[in-house]
Chains A and B, each alone.
Chain A
Amino acid sequence: MILGIDVGGTHTDAVLLDSRFDVVEWAKVLTNPDNLIDSFREAASRVLNGKNLTKLERIVLSTTMSTNAIVQNKVDRVGMILAGGPGLAPEALHVDGDTHFVSGYMSHRGIEAAAVDESEVLEAAGRLKASGIRHGGIVGKFSTRNPGLELKIGNLIEKDFDHLSFGHRMSGNLNYPRRIATTYLNAAIWSVYNRFVDNLLRFVGELGVTAPVYILKADGGTSEIRQSAKYPVGTILSGPAASIMGILSLTGGKEDAVALDIGGTTTDIALFADGVPLLEPFGVTIAGRRTLVRGLKTRSIGVGGDSRVRWEKGELRIGPEREGPARAFGGPFPTPTDAMIVLGLTAMGNREKALEAMAELAEEGKTSPGEMARIVYEKACEIISGAVRELLEEVNNKPVYTIHEILEGKIITPKVLFTVGGPAEAMAPRIGEHLGCPSRLPEHAMVANAVGAALARTTAEITLLADTEKKTLTIVEEGLQQDIPGRFSRDDALFICRERLLERALKMGAREADLVMEIIEDQVFNMVRGFYTTGKNIRIKAQIKPGLIARGQEGAP
């Protein structure tokens, strides 16, 4: 059995799946925002009641914990020490008063272009310590190419802090401003997340459960929860990831598809390429901060069932505000939900009130309430399908850097539209018509997030860079730097990359059966200085892509 729990902003859902991944129990309780462990406990106990806990294979959790801490700014102060060298003006970096810029930086080749000034670093650390800061972040430009400088700064100041987050451990991707934001967030939620994990594991222990506990990360993959505590920022946006993995698990699609989660306030759009959810190419954005956190690509638009509908300068506007529930449920303003009630697309709510709401709009629109309802419904469907088309266009026109990709690049053409959420049933067929593909409503959509969390596989990514002129190899996510011979080849690089990815994934709690490895970047550049080849620059990125765990393994010893 697998227990999947989604601690969402409003509700906490739990599902219990049997070895065939069928939902045998489910529960939905209100989330207690002040004590998420309580919500977890209540939902878990409902589905586990009377079950043999020794049969539990794993527990997987998705939670808004990290996201909420960031959005509500319930985080620790972080002292940031940045070694960026020349380039973009420091004023262009979005940093706060606890940030100190120090000398020293790496070049794009990972060669130290200027050294660290120890006294400067110590002075900065002293000032941070004096102001009571216990959490530090150290970020260098191009530290992914050579973490030496960050590590040196770390050695100098580790005694002054409870915790230090290092930029190079956040991601193998380049982007110094994002590395700063990511490292900051990681350090800022470090304590709150670690406390959460401790409490959760204590509770699970008290239940008498020995099964491993996992958390769903932003990329739709799981990580053993103790491991995740080393890199808490990876667990932001766990909720939206659960929703996408939920749709995947409930439909098992293998084709290009669009997934819509149509809620009261917003509609979230996600895309699948051959059944695999798309990732953000550089990293996800949270609370306006662009990060290097690997995460699923979602687009949120301000149109939902409860969006306020009004006329503005002769134009009908839907959202982005939600001022309350639909009029039919006692809300203040007309909404798309009222329109759908008038059109008989849904039987819920007070039809009289809904009609009254449409009549109000119809007056200014010089039409009948019935016709007005049709216009509102059409418009809402059009806005959503327009946003889907826009996202598709953006993804399909993403810049690429090889002739091969320009001429042969994958174009996503959705074959099916999956929808979940309150207004999904009423709106999906029409949106499907707009997009030219059939719509489907998954079963158990009410608890899709919990099912998605339960069935997600462990994901991981590593970035290998070998420079045979410098004779060094770096896998920065692992903190690995080693010497290599000048004859080191692409095959050697691929071998090491696979081996290390496997180790990383197993450490994060992956099962052998789910290790679907994929090389996502594979480039070798001849390095020429003067007119002679002086080395090779080998760049490999490998991942275990987001997906579902393999069936038929459950219950195996």
Chain B
Amino acid sequence: MKGKERKTGLVFFPAFDWAISSTHPEREERLLYTQDQVFEEGLLDLENIVEFKPGLATKADVDRVHICVPDVSHVTTESHMISAGGAITAAEKVLEGEVDNAFALVRPPGHHAMRVVHGARGFCNINIEAVMIEHIRRKYGHRRIAIVDTDCHHGDGTQDIFWHDPDTLFISLHQDGRTLYPGSGFPEEFGGPNALGTTLNIPLPPRTSEEGFLYVLDNLILPILDDFKPDLVINSAGQDNHYTDPITDMQFTAQGYARLNDRLSPHIAVLEGGYSVETALPYINVGIILAMAGLDYSHVREPDYDPERIRQSADITRYIEKLSEGIYGLWKRRDEEKSKLRRDGEFARRSRGIFYDTDHISEEQTELVRICDDCGGLITIDSRADHSTRIFAVVIPGRSCPACRKKGEEIYETRSRKDGPYDHIYLQDRDRDIYMTK
């Protein structure tokens, strides 16, 4: 069970003075027992585990990823900037070579935060992984990045942000959206027309256990990562697949999480959800930290662990095998599917209603992406929230082609608040790292 020892960075920020509300799952108590367990096991004294204080993300870090309405300070608190800053610190320690890998054990989480942010959804305001990824791309130039989201909920925010980005492979495995928030994340959600195949969804049936998760990892995720050949692998390490989680219905375990992390071997792991604060998180986190550090995690288990009680049924096993086969086939056919998807017209349209369950906001959004083979494609967004703010945003992608850039600049130039229905107009130039509003 003991692999090669690695030097692991840990950014631990439990935000003991921050909660969405006093009885909300995202409350002060959430990482209290995790802290207790990590301290008691003496993990911070191990020679190859180093703890770092989180930095603060800047407004520019957030503007590089999100269109915050009306601006960053209205939709975030310090806690979000520290949480995203913690993820950035973890990534920087890896990319500067101070450690081999790092775990940002921070809260609040971020993977339900989409590109446009009118408020909080799924306990998330800003997408801390996306903010981290674009920060390190800007600073270190890593192009190909893979995110494996192992939270029990579909990482719909991360999916939205990287939907048109062919350089970011986003794989989410989660409890089937027909049985859990946010209700999305089906295999058909496969990426935008310029980036088909770099979004992959693996909806698992309720009561999937260790066996099912590890099967998907070995037979689907790892082969796809082998094909994609990312420079960096990031794990959105949600911990709510645990058999004691109060808001989900899966049968995963601390041992399972540790093994998954060991085999996936991410460069950076970032905590997402996980609300079984007392009976799951302390053990899962100890397991993940030991696995990342290449130390023996075989003795980590929950006090009430009983593999027989949580074994998945044969039906579930068969279902998952079939599902994996189907998705792997889809991945292999991604280029054919992409050409089929391309129809006439310069732009492809996506219109959606987005609900912010945490802040009770409904958003109507129409997104246009320029069909482009030379870059991720110019994006324009028309978004209206039911508290009646309407915005228009132009997003020029990273490494944009001259045509998309020219078009984007033109559109931004010609739009004006005076003659339109918009309260705010934004230009996010990801290639030149410029953010403007009018």
Query: A92-125 interface mask toward B, CB cutoff 8 Å, 1 = contact, 0 = none?
Result: 1000000000000001110001100000000000
Residue of A nearest to B282 (CB): A108
Is A88 a contact partner of B16 (Cβ separation < 8 A)? Answer: no
- Given A174-B40, A399-B52, A528–B27 Cβ distance below 8 Å? yes
Is A89 a contact partner of B42 (Cβ separation < 8 A)? Answer: no
B296 contacts across to A, CB distance below 8 A = 89, 91-92
Q: How far is the CA of A109 from the CA of B29 in the complex (A)?
A: 13
Chain B positions 1-56 with a Cβ under 8 Å from a chain A Cβ? 2, 11-18, 22-23, 25, 27-29, 32-33, 35-37, 39-43, 45-46, 51-54, 56
Chain B nearest Cβ from A553, distance in angstroms? 39
Residue of A nearest to B55 (CB): A406
Chain A nearest Cβ from B196, distance in angstroms? 41
B2 contacts across to A, CB distance below 8 A = 89
A251 contacts across to B, CB distance below 8 A = none
Is A175 a contact partner of B39 (Cβ separation < 8 A)? Answer: yes
For residue A379, CB closer than 8 A to chain B, the reply is: no
B303 contacts across to A, CB distance below 8 A = 85-86, 107, 113-114
Residue of B nearest to A528 (CB): B23
For residue A398, CB closer than 8 A to chain B, the reply is: yes
Q: How far is the CA of A107 from the CA of B52 in the complex (A)?
A: 27
- Given A87-B286, A397-B53, A528-B29, A403–B79 Cβ distance below 8 Å? yes
Chain A positions 348-400 with a Cβ under 8 Å from a chain B Cβ? 397-400
Chain A nearest Cβ from B88, distance in angstroms? 14
Is B27 a contact partner of A87 (Cβ separation < 8 A)? Answer: no
Chain A positions 276-320 with a Cβ under 8 Å from a chain B Cβ? 282, 290
Chain B nearest Cβ from A541, distance in angstroms? 13
Tally of B interface residues using CB under 8 Å: 48
A142 contacts across to B, CB distance below 8 A = 36, 40
**Contacting residue for A177 out of B42, B51, B286, CB 8 A:** B42
Is A401 a contact partner of B82 (Cβ separation < 8 A)? Answer: no
Is B13 a contact partner of A174 (Cβ separation < 8 A)? Answer: no
Is A88 a contact partner of B29 (Cβ separation < 8 A)? Answer: no
Is B246 a contact partner of A176 (Cβ separation < 8 A)? Answer: no
Is A88 a contact partner of B82 (Cβ separation < 8 A)? Answer: no
For residue A525, CB closer than 8 A to chain B, the reply is: yes
Is B45 a contact partner of A406 (Cβ separation < 8 A)? Answer: no
For residue B415, CB closer than 8 A to chain A, the reply is: no
For residue A197, CB closer than 8 A to chain B, the reply is: no
Query: B322-344 interface mask toward A, CB cutoff 8 Å, 1 = contact, 0 = none?
Result: 00000000000000000000000
**Contacting residue for B23 out of A92, A399, A407, A531, CB 8 A:** A531
Q: How far is the CA of A23 from the CA of B52 in the complex (A)?
A: 46
Chain A nearest Cβ from B253, distance in angstroms? 12
Q: How far is the CA of A9 from the CA of B27 in the complex (A)?
A: 52
A177 contacts across to B, CB distance below 8 A = 41-42, 45
- Given A92-B295, A525-B32, A174–B15 Cβ distance below 8 Å? no
Chain B nearest Cβ from A445, distance in angstroms? 35
For residue B352, CB closer than 8 A to chain A, the reply is: no
Q: How far is the CA of A349 from the CA of B296 in the complex (A)?
A: 57
B17 contacts across to A, CB distance below 8 A = 402-404
B301 contacts across to A, CB distance below 8 A = 86
Which of B2, B14, B39, B298 has the most chain A CB atoms inside 10 A of its CB? B39
- Given A399-B51, A399-B52, A528-B23, A87–B41 Cβ distance below 8 Å? yes
Chain B nearest Cβ from A173, distance in angstroms? 8
For residue A486, CB closer than 8 A to chain B, the reply is: no
Residue of A nearest to B46 (CB): A92
Chain A nearest Cβ from B34, distance in angstroms? 9
Is B15 a contact partner of A401 (Cβ separation < 8 A)? Answer: yes
- Given A86-B300, A90-B299, A107-B303, A176–B29 Cβ distance below 8 Å? no
Q: How far is the CA of A141 from the CA of B295 in the complex (A)?
A: 19
Query: A501-512 interface mask toward B, CB cutoff 8 Å, 1 = contact, 0 = none?
Result: 000000000000
Query: B54-94 interface mask toward A, CB cutoff 8 Å, 1 = contact, 0 = none?
Result: 10100000000000000000000011001000000000000
For residue A495, CB closer than 8 A to chain B, the reply is: no
For residue A49, CB closer than 8 A to chain B, the reply is: no
For residue B290, CB closer than 8 A to chain A, the reply is: yes
B35 contacts across to A, CB distance below 8 A = 401
- Given A86-B301, A114-B303, A401-B35, A523–B22 Cβ distance below 8 Å? no
Is A402 a contact partner of B41 (Cβ separation < 8 A)? Answer: no
For residue B278, CB closer than 8 A to chain A, the reply is: yes
Count of A-B residue pairs with CB < 8 Å: 117
Chain B nearest Cβ from A447, distance in angstroms? 36
Chain A nearest Cβ from B52, distance in angstroms? 7
**Contacting residue for A526 out of B22, B37, B282, B283, CB 8 A:** B22
A174 contacts across to B, CB distance below 8 A = 36, 39-40
Which of B37, B56, B278, B303 has the most chain A CB atoms inside 10 A of its CB? B303
Residue of A nearest to B77 (CB): A403
**Contacting residue for B15 out of A86, A397, A403, A537, CB 8 A:** A403
Is A176 a contact partner of B42 (Cβ separation < 8 A)? Answer: yes
A517 contacts across to B, CB distance below 8 A = none
Chain B positions 301-330 with a Cβ under 8 Å from a chain A Cβ? 301, 303
B53 contacts across to A, CB distance below 8 A = 397-400, 406
Is B45 a contact partner of A178 (Cβ separation < 8 A)? Answer: yes
Residue of B nearest to A111 (CB): B303
Q: How far is the CA of A530 from the CA of B54 in the complex (A)?
A: 31
Chain A nearest Cβ from B137, distance in angstroms? 26
Which of A92, A113, A407 has the most chain B CB atoms inside 10 A of its CB? A92
Is B37 a contact partner of A176 (Cβ separation < 8 A)? Answer: no
Query: A167-181 interface mask toward B, CB cutoff 8 Å, 1 = contact, 0 = none?
Result: 000000111111000
Residue of B nearest to A178 (CB): B42
For residue A533, CB closer than 8 A to chain B, the reply is: yes
Is B23 a contact partner of A290 (Cβ separation < 8 A)? Answer: no
Q: How far is the CA of A526 from the CA of B24 in the complex (A)?
A: 10
For residue A519, CB closer than 8 A to chain B, the reply is: no
- Given A87-B286, A89-B298, A176-B42, A526–B78 Cβ distance below 8 Å? no
Residue of A nearest to B287 (CB): A87
Chain B nearest Cβ from A176, distance in angstroms? 5
Chain B nearest Cβ from A345, distance in angstroms? 39
A400 contacts across to B, CB distance below 8 A = 53
Chain B nearest Cβ from A86, distance in angstroms? 5
Q: How far is the CA of A173 from the CA of B290 in the complex (A)?
A: 22
Q: List 14 A-B contacts (CB under 8 A).
A: A86-B283, A86-B303, A89-B295, A108-B36, A108-B37, A109-B278, A114-B303, A175-B45, A178-B42, A401-B12, A403-B79, A526-B22, A526-B29, A537-B32
- Extra contacts, 16 of them, besides A88-B41, A109-B33, A114-B303 (Cβ < 8 A), are A86-B301, A88-B286, A88-B299, A89-B298, A107-B303, A109-B278, A177-B42, A399-B12, A399-B53, A400-B53, A401-B13, A402-B16, A406-B13, A407-B78, A526-B22, A528-B23
Q: Which of A's residues lie within 8 Å of B, judged by CB? A: 85-92, 107-109, 113-114, 141-142, 173-178, 282, 290, 397-404, 406-407, 523, 525-528, 530-533, 537
Q: Which of B's residues lie within 8 Å of A, judged by CB? A: 2, 11-18, 22-23, 25, 27-29, 32-33, 35-37, 39-43, 45-46, 51-54, 56, 78-79, 82, 246, 278, 282-283, 286, 290, 295-296, 298-301, 303
Shortest Cβ-Cβ A-B pairs, 9 listed = A113-B303, A177-B42, A89-B296, A174-B39, A108-B36, A174-B40, A402-B17, A525-B29, A399-B53
